[in-house]
Structure 1
Amino acid sequence: MSPRRSTEGGRIDRGRTIRFSFDGKSYHGHPGDTLASALMANGMRLFGRSFKYHRPRGLLAAGVDEPNALVTVLKGTVREPNIAATQIEIHEGLTVESQNRFPSLDVDAGAVNQLAGGLLSAGFYYKTFMGPVVGPLRGTRFWMACEHFIRRAAGLGRAGRDADPDRYERMNAFCDVLVTGAGPAGLMAAKVAAEAGKRVILADLEPVPGGSAKWSGDTIDGLPAAAWAQRTIEALGAMDTVRLLPRTTVWGYYDGNTLAALERVTDHKPAPDKGEPRHRHWTIRAGAVVLATGAFERPLVFPGNDRPGVMLADAAVRLLREYGVVAGSRVALFANNDDAYRAAAALAEAGATIATIVDMRDTVSSAARALAERAGAEILAGHAVSGTKGGKALREIAVQRLREGEITGQPRRIAVDCLLMSGGWSPAIHLASQAGTAPRWDEALQAFLPPAPTQNWIGAGAFAGHFATAAALADGLAAGAKVAGGKPPRKSALPRVETLELDIAPAPVFAIRPSGKAGKAFVDFQHDVTAEDVRQAHREGFVSVEHLKRYTTLGMATDQGKTSNVPGLAIMAEARGITVPEVGTTRFRPPFTPVSLGALAAERYGELRPDRLTPMHDWHVESGATMYAAGLWYRPMVYGGRGETVEQAYVREAAATRAGVGIVDVSTLGKIMVQGPDAADFLDRVYTNKFSTLPVMKARYGLMLREDGLAYDDGTTWRLSQTDFLMTTTTANAGKVMQQLEYYLDIVWPDLKVALTSVSDEWAGAAIAGPHSRDVLAACVAGTAVDNDTLPFMGIVRGEIDGVPVMICRLSFSGERAYEVYCGAGHGLHVWEALMEAGKPFAIVPYGLEALGTLRIEKGHVTGAEIDGRTTGRDLYLDWMLSKKKPFAGSMMMDREGLCDDDRIRLVGIVALDDRPLGGGAHIVEHNDPAEIRDSIGHVTAGCYSPALGKYIALALVKGGKTRHGTRAFVSDPLRKRFGPVEIVSHHFYDPEGSRMHG
């Protein structure tokens, strides 16, 4: 017989029918169904094929812990694989296909893998493909020969290639109390906290609150438990201080009581309403957190425990209570605790025949026996299921006597179409583990309980190991009062509960060791990890839980070991002859359940990022500039003429600047005002060189180090008064430098009286360089002279250009006489055009970043290509800036032995001897053998064609630095198919004396 829909019961709307498609075939269900429940109601048992062996698999669980029934949801040409069928709410037009099978779910060619079981055991990929190959592929490794086929077979579902058309949102929320889980404990905690006036967020991953179906037979304050839950939710929903988030999984717990959650907004709809996202990602900052996340039922490990029709007892109860689906007609139970007996009674009331209850314990409680009697079932105490039979559906189980974990006696065969198993419960402590330390083992419950809190959270209900309804409500009441800051509640405040008291503490047996070869017993259903795999890991020395996990892949699938963790550890403990807590457990990491990448990115993708444009942007575009993104800004690359290549354009611009005058937009430089009585002292501590001695209206070049002594950023800082400085930074590092300076003032030197203000967007800037740069300024600047005496190198003056106040500093990045002209951003275009007009008699040219880079490479100036997080001031021959008279950030670490090694890579110049370009990232090698690339002695950081030298040149970082000047080497760039001879020279290619910029 197949599963079927009961005539009544469940939360589904039987008055409406929904059509959906699975593997191209049409099925029907009702509103409220999941894909799993609807397919089960249609008689389906086979949901998927297992990862390694392609064994037929049915439902194991009914929630987020489902490892078998993973499917691919199709929306047009868009595919989303590996979604648990238990988490998909059906809607009209839903289209789904099974996965990990070919050509079909019923007939899967991959099932041949079951014949190679021994070859695919634990660690097979480490062993099988390491040997040499004979025959035509002689000399290669077997892995290399097989890699293509293995990679095609790896994985589960197949991802699509089309762009995701859905929209995603991000939300930030703040609350006094976040309650995760809307079972009895969570609802009670939220109610108490809200009634105390706290702002409460209640998040639950299910569409309908209420928690586990196993307590649905209880009454609370005279109401059925489900009705009490609904009444409580309605009361909370009517309160202004409460936000209810159904279909929301809290998946990560981070420092500062910050939690991440995913709300599935429209997955249950045929199409989103106008403006609705598919998913909404929540970042929640909570004053306190109540963790009421419940528990997961564990499977038992025995031969054939993965056959379709074998499932967790709680899954069968949920299917019945929530969806009105009876999991089988003739049902057996296999358990080591009383709780599973509820399932027997529930299914018997729905019309199923309970063939037997197999209990591993020798003694069964009177309450459990009463439930068995209600179900009309015999109890086989002290027995175990030792095997199953059936192909794509269960037909028969074998039951034998169990003595001290070993199977004895002759098997008794019982015809059944469904076997429910229960190995006890594991509290869902994942969030607490993420936020705290190692979990604690509870011997009575044979489960890990949450660790002691290291953040402001409190646990309640099954999460804390309190599974009974009354205990869960008491937990919730106490937790709500605690997070509300109130007095401990009186017992009279507790709801009145009527329930059947059961002993759910399981016997400490999870894996049955059969005699002989009885078939595979699975621990991790999704990754096909068997009990024998765990024992093999022990035999081969992989006994640490971390090694066990990686060697066998136990708990590494999308379900993250929710059902397999404790049974796997118990098998290893038995193999080692120690206890489970001595074996230990791996720590849980976020996410608790899979999270869509779209939700993590939300609005932050594609062209939705803000474009930062300088005030002169439109002028650049209209003047033929090719714009490209530089950090967060758009800047001109070149102003190309008709038919010009990029190289021809930047060579023309750079040559014209050296010969006459050029102008470049430098508005994007980071600009930070450093003000206050301690500003000079602060800069002395931040920079490697001294700024307290800098005269007013003068500028100085400065270098910053990281705390570890490596170079961080460079730039000029201008002293505008005794207490006012304008710091400039590189475009890319503006935000990082600002953050670092704020960190120093807030944390390291909070006593300094200094104010920081980012003014990067407040100033527009233009740099004028070349022999005629002074002539251009003299023609348009009013209110000040710009001659050599008034405006010497690194001097600053104030004046006006066409009525606009400007500040001019004489400094050079190009090696030519040069000036930076700053004005208010609103006047940037006006001043730029005035400078261009004044430069017409001198044939002024605008130049872009490519020419700017060419000029700086010729001069040997460093930028982010050289200050790459691995170089020191000495590596860049800026050791003259490392003050010996004062401490500064990084000074304590910059003299470490490894940072002073003479063999470190240091800045040099490279000249191509074969007249071909030198690309950034290319390696420098000493051997003339392009076929066999040997040890690299360094790499190119930035290259160009130099119009001043008439050669291709580059800056590079090479071992030994200047000791290699005048020597030959080779550039090796296999990706660009570039190999050729180079000469290593000084990085000061052009005017090393500086006569041009000082003249």
Structure 2
Amino acid sequence: MSGWRHSSIGSQIDRNTPLPFTFDGRPGSGFAGDTPASALLASGIRVLGRSFKYHRPRGLWGMGNEEPNAIFDVTEDGRTTPNVRSTTVMLRRNMALRSVNTAPDAARDRTGMLDLFNRFLPGGFYYKTFMAFGWMRWEPMIRRMAGLGRLDPGHCPPADIPQLNARCDLLVIGAGPAGLAAARAAARNGREVWLVDDAPEPGGSLRWRGGAIDGGDWREFTRDAIGAIIAAGGRILTGTTIWGAFDHGLFAAWERRDGSPDRLWRIRAAETVLATGAIERPLWFANNDLPGILSAEAALHYLSLYGAVAGRRILLATGNDASYPVAAALAQAGCDVTLADARADAPAAPDGVKHLGAARLTQAHGRNSVAGAVVDGRVIETDAILVSGGYTPSVHLHCQAGGKLDWDTGSDSLIPRPGSSALWVAGAVNGSFGLARALAEGHAAGGGTGPAPRAAAGDWQFFPMRPDPDLRGRQWIDPQNDVTLKDVKLAAQEGYRSVEHLKRYTTLGMATDQGRSANFAGLATMAALTGRTIPETGTTTYRPPFSPVPLGVIGGLRRGDLFNAPKRLPLEIAHKARGAMFREYGGWLRPSVYGTDDEAVLAQQEALAARKSVGLYDASPLGKIEVIGPGAAELLDYCGYLRLSTLKPGRARYGFVLGETGIVHDDGVVFRLAENRFVVSASSSHAATVRMILEEARQDVFDPTKSFIHDVTAGFATLTVTGPKSRDLLIAANLPEALYDDANLPHMSVTETFWNGHSLRVARVSFTGDRSYEVTVPARHAPALYSALETARQEVSGRWIGMEAVMILRAEKGFILVGKDTDGLTMPHDLGWEAPREKRKDEYLGRRSLFTAEARRADRRQLVGLEIDGDAPLPTGAHLVPLEGQRRSLGFVTSSYFSPILGRPIALALVEGGRNRIGTELGVFHLGKIGRVRICDSCAFDPTWERLHA
């Protein structure tokens, strides 16, 4: 144990408020304001975890999201949150910290013996080894070993995490010196500024490095910036991570609030300034993964804010000017500091610091933590090694916003290419290291018109430091995933020279820190091994989230009725008054049956009543997508399987919407109300996606000014009247006389008229096979229509029916439900609709896929009916199998019901070559039992269609 707590340093902590906690069951203590990482560092505990593959001991490395090692399962108030990064949360009283990937704990991990076999487990060995004897043999074992923390089944995320939308003139991401300068300049110009930072308070590196700005303390400058932001109507969000940049200037932010629910912000700004700073790189030498090796910047951070000191005899290895204030601060705190600078022309050493020029650190000594180091062949006694291999700008959001990168020799880093994204960049993220440059760039990015804030120049100079492939010993590139320099060399030898292939072959950069401490080393090494420059080698793709975000935050308020909230009928109250039992169908709450008896019995009674007399049901969820304009017909021809431009006004046509693969996406009816006006009546569950398909084609394939799409489903109510007495019911309801005349309104036609002073649309289409009318009115007039039809229903002895009865009626006729009677491979000709494919010569969505070898297979699964012996319906999903020979699935039952009008079970099924099997028998296999069925036509009731026109 070498870390310790300084008695007087530590601006962030309250020494009057001690906080007890435990780590791996052992008691510890910190102070209010600590993080678990700072408290553990001050306690002297070095081994905080184990690496993923070899289970080597791992200690604290960084101070923020770049921390790859100190990841804990945290238990508070009986609830455990897995994989918490100890550097980004605040310590709280009685926290129980448990190391991950260890057994029984970090210090005594039994699986540490795996490191003895490291030579047999190089990068890529998974791909080569576990293909032997079949992957399925190894998969269960690997899955048991995979993962880090353990989920707590009893930990339900908070149910009240709000999601908020916001707009501002200027969004400043990062509240360091550059971000503060940008925000202050913009606010002084009267702009509404939002300043967002993931630290608990603004200041960035000023909080631990300090600095004089405009001749005063940096705190005065910070307070002035905050005052200007608030005065201009802006907002400051601390403890908030901008985790994603999305299309059209949208940024997603996760705000953490102690004592209150977290919040998800969706922020849009007229302009955005990126001032996210940079992350310090490690150095690469033998055993560079030992606990006790820290980032030099992180060591200064812990010392200044928390008084937590990394050790007493410290070696600081560097190649840049940024490390000199670190060495000075540690020496002033009472540490014995040796500064090893790789540069021959290094600056003079700070007071009290031993200085080694042109010095190279080649090895760390120690078993479970640092006990010494080798510099230029000389052993130096040390209990902590601080390293600085340069800085990597945090360009993630710039790249997520579409930006590109350029190599900057001065800062030895990849920086944002000017103008390649819509973001202004300033400060260290732009390769501008040193307080004066950061302030000047931030002031300019914020639109400052006066003099920029002044500070001592002090630009940092960098010496390029790279991994040495010729150095003996294991050099660790990704400490959490156990990727070494040797693994990168192996990947290059085996042809995995693309950075994306390198990442997947070795798992480099796939740890929980997302490669923040590893990617540059891997990139630089691959560049050196392949004789390319770093820009030529390229970088991996940065994707949201910038850092891990709890799924509960992204999910927001999606709980109970708010989780995929069902849509509601305009007449829900009226249906409830009639005793309707509600279920969800296609995302809508709809009556399943009416009454309090057994649901299956009521459904049978309702279906029989509709066949013998008349049934009424609420069809309001049917899609009502209006397509208007001179290009409407052409658009619908392209998006439909059947040509619709030949449809006459006042007529309707049934058809399919296909995907690009030719698979049936939806079926429905299209009405042509006028020459340039159509209504697409998509199925209830697919209305939204059909609209998206139409809209995509409108914008990408055709002139978008010639057609317009409006989804008005929610604005109208539709009540369907079906059965032999349906026309009698319309007459009794006193609807317009024109509706009664079959010559005026034949089957598959539509008319618009007026009733009681408001618009009325009636369509002669049927989902039951009987004469049917779909009566549609604006939603506000639905109660009046309901009342009229209810009065008429009583006169003709009709019955309200729910969706369960409708399902029986449509199955009797062989009418399909897409998604139930189709699967993800069903094409129109599998459903008996072959003619359009053979006759249409023009282009339409999915056409080419209908002529592939796969689409032309004779043994495709086709929709057929099933004749069943006995009175029991078949189980939906039961498999059809051969009666002789090897048992295999030939298809499956898609719909199955007892038909009250036929007095026997009916079923629909998808069967290989089904239409050629009509009249033959197959077995039906379910739960180990086999029955017999005969393949028949899908239409079981009224095959001559006489009732449709009766």
Shared fold by TM > 0.5? yes
Q: Which residue of 1 aligns with 2:352?
A: 375
Equivalent residue, structure 2, for 1:72:
73
After superposition, the Cα gap between the structure-2 partners of 1:38 and 1:905, relative to the gap in structure 1 and judged at 3 Å, is same
| Alignment partners' CA distance in 1, 2:578 and 2:26 | 61
User: Does residue 1:39 correspond to 2:40, yes or no?
Assistant: yes
Matched, 1:339 2:322: yes
Distance 1:585 1:468 in 2: 26
For 1:159, which of 131, 135, 151 is the aligned residue? 151
Alpha-carbon spacing, 1:997–1:459, altered in 2? closer, same or farther (3 Å): same
Q: Which runs of 5+ in 1 are unaligned?
A: 133-140, 402-411
Q: Which moved more, 1:806-815 or 1:886-895?
A: 886-895
- Structure 2 counterpart of 1:598, from 552, 557, 560: 552
- What displacement does 1:417 show? 1.5
Residue in 2 that maps onto 1:408? none
Please state if 1:89 is matched with 2:90.
yes
Could you report, residue by residue, the CA deviation over 1:519-568 in whole angstroms, capped at 9, with x for unpaired residues? x4321112122223323333444333222212221110110000111112
Match of 1:994? 945
Structure 1 Cα separation of the partners of residues 859 and 519 of structure 2: 48
Structural mapping, 1:723-802, within 5 Å: 726-742=679-695, 757-784=710-737, 786=740, 788-789=742-743, 791-795=745-749
Residue 364 of structure 1 corresponds to which residue in structure 2? 345
Letter in 2 for 1:909: V
The equivalent residue for 1:397 is 373
1:836-915 equivalent positions in 2, closer than 5 A: 836-840=790-794, 843-865=797-819, 866=821, 870-879=825-834, 890=845, 893=848, 896-897=851-852, 901=856, 903=858, 905=860, 907-911=862-866, 913=868
- TM-aligned CA distance change 1:825 to 1:432, over 3 Å: closer
3-state secondary structure, aligned to 2:182: helix
Distance in 2, Cα, partners of 1:870 & 1:541: 38
Give 1:769's aligned amino acid: T
User: SS of the counterpart of 2:685?
Assistant: coil
Once the two structures are TM-superposed, the CA of residue 602 in structure 1 deviates from its matched residue by 0.5
**Alignment-derived partner of residue 136 in structure 1:** none
Question: Counterpart in 2 of 1:585?
Answer: 539
How far the C-alpha of 1:178 sits from its partner, in A, is 2.0
Tell whether the 8 Å contact from 2:663 to 2:846 is kept in structure 1 after alignment.
Answer: no
Structure 1 residue aligned with 2:567:
612
Question: How far apart are residue 614 of structure 1 and its match?
Answer: 2.0
Equivalence for 2:361: 384
Matched ranges for 1:598-677 at <5 A: 598-609=552-563, 610-621=565-576, 623=578, 625-639=580-594, 642=597, 644=598, 646=600, 648-673=601-626
- Which residue in the other structure is 1:474 paired with? 440
Q: Distance in 2 between matches of 1:476 and 1:991?
A: 78
- After superposition, give the CA deviation of every residue in 1:808-860 in whole Å (9 maximum; x if it has no partner): 43321111122223344345456446545544566533332232122222212
Asked if 1:301 corresponds to 2:284, the answer is: yes
Distance apart, 1:62 and its partner CA: 1.0
Q: CA 1:877/1:596 → structure 2, altered by over 3 Å: closer, same or farther?
A: same
Alpha-carbon separation, structure 2, partners of 1:787 and 1:959 = 44
Q: CA, structure 1 residues 15+335, in 2 after alignment: closer, same or farther (shift >3 Å)?
A: closer
Cα offset, 1:61, TM superposition: 0.6
Contact in 2 for aligned 1:248/1:261 (Cα 8 Å): yes
Report the CA distance shift for 1:787/1:496 in structure 2 as closer, same or farther (over 3 A). closer
The one-letter code of the counterpart of 1:306 is D
What one-letter code is carried by the residue in structure 2 that aligns with 1:772? Answer: K
For 1:181-196, list aligned pairs within 5 A.
181-196=174-189
SS at match of 2:63: coil
Q: CA deviation at 1:302?
A: 2.0
Please give the residue correspondences for 1:247-286 in structure 2 after superposition, counting only pairs within 5 Å. Answer: 247-264=239-256, 266=257, 269=258, 271-272=259-260, 277=261, 279-286=262-269
Whether contact under 8 Å (2:65, 2:547) holds in the other structure is yes
CA distance in 1, matches of 2:879, 2:418: 52
- Would you say the 8 A contact 2:614–2:722 is kept in 1? yes
Partner Cα separation in structure 2 for residue 37 and residue 695 of structure 1: 76
Helix, strand or coil for the counterpart of 2:84? Answer: strand
Whether 2:390 is the aligned partner of 1:424: answer yes
After TM superposition, list the pairs within 5 Å mapping 1:17-28 onto structure 2.
17-23=17-23, 24-28=25-29
Amino acid across the alignment from 1:475: E
Residues 706 and 712 in structure 1, CA contact (< 8 A), matched pair in contact too? yes
DSSP-derived class of the 1:358 partner: strand
Most deviating of 690-699 and 668-677: 690-699
> What is the distance in 1 between the residues matched to 2:466 and 2:629?
71
Per-residue CA distance 1:163-204 (angstroms, 9 max, x = gap): 123531212222332221122222222222333333322211
2 CA distance for matches of 1:167 and 1:291? 31
Give secondary structure in 2 for the equivalent of 1:997: coil
Q: Which amino acid aligns with 2:935?
A: I
Structure 1: how far apart are the matches of 2:283 and 2:533?
18
Amino acid at match of 2:375: V
- Aligned equivalent of 1:817: 771
CA 1:475–1:131 in 2, change beyond 3 Å: closer, same or farther? Answer: same
Identity level (%): 39
* Range moving further from structure 2, 452-461 or 83-92: 452-461
Secondary structure of the structure 1 residue equivalent to 2:511: coil
2:398, 2:421 within 8 Å by CA — same for their partners in 1?
Answer: no
| Aligned Cα root-mean-square deviation (Å) | 3.5
Q: Which amino acid aligns with 1:398?
A: V
1:173–1:284 CA contact under 8 A, matched in 2? yes
Q: CA deviation at 1:280?
A: 1.5
> Counterparts of 1:181-580 in structure 2 under 5 Å?
181-212=174-205, 216-224=209-217, 226-264=218-256, 266=257, 269=258, 271-272=259-260, 277=261, 279-354=262-337, 356-361=338-343, 363-365=344-346, 367=347, 369-371=348-350, 374-379=351-356, 381-391=358-368, 393-401=369-377, 412-436=378-402, 439-443=405-409, 445-451=411-417, 453-481=419-447, 493-498=451-456, 500-503=458-461, 505-511=462-468, 513-515=470-472, 518=473, 520-580=474-534
Aligned-residue offset at 1:691: 5.8
What secondary structure sits across from 1:569 in the alignment? helix
The answer to whether the 8 Å contact 1:707/1:889 transfers is: no
CA distance in 2, matches of 1:474, 1:998: 82
Aligned partner of 1:12: which letter?
A: Q
Distance 1:497 1:947 in 2: 89
Task: Please report how far the alpha carbon of residue 253 of structure 1 lies from its aligned counterpart in structure 2 after TM superposition.
Answer: 1.8
Quote the Cα distance in structure 2 between the aligned partners of 1:228 and 1:79. Answer: 41
Would you say the 8 A contact 1:49–1:101 is kept in 2? yes
CA contact (8 A) 2:765 2:774 kept: yes
**8 A contact 1:384–1:512 mirrored in 2:** no
Instruction: Specify the SS of the correspondent of 2:942.
Output: coil
1:118 aligns with 2:119: yes
**Do the aligned partners of residues 654 and 200 (structure 1) sit closer, same or farther apart at CA in structure 2, a change above 3 Å counting?**
same
Q: Which residue of 2 aligns with 1:409?
A: none
Equivalent-residue separation in structure 1 for 2:459 and 2:408 (angstroms) = 20
SS of the residue corresponding to residue 737 of structure 1 reads: helix
Q: Please list the CA deviations of residues 777-809 of structure 1 after superposition, one character each: whole Å capped at 9, or x if unmatched.
A: 333335527354565324556899999986543
Change (3 A) 1:830 1:817: same
Could you tell me whether the CA contact under 8 Å between 1:615 and 1:764 is conserved in 2? yes
Measured in 2, the distance between the counterparts of 1:295 and 1:415 equals 31
Partner Cα distance (1:44, 1:685) in 2: 68
Residues 462-518 of structure 1, C-alpha deviation per residue, up to 9 Å, x if partnerless?
A: 11111122222222233223xx8xxxx67xx13322254542x23333347544xx5
Indicate if the aligned counterparts of 2:659 and 2:845 stay in contact, CA closer than 8 A: yes
Within 2, Cα distance between the matches of 1:731 and 1:679? Answer: 22
Cα distance between partner residues in 2 of 1:979 and 1:154: 41
Deviation at 1:678, TM superposition (A): 7.3
d(CA) in 2 for partners of 1:560 and 1:294? Answer: 17
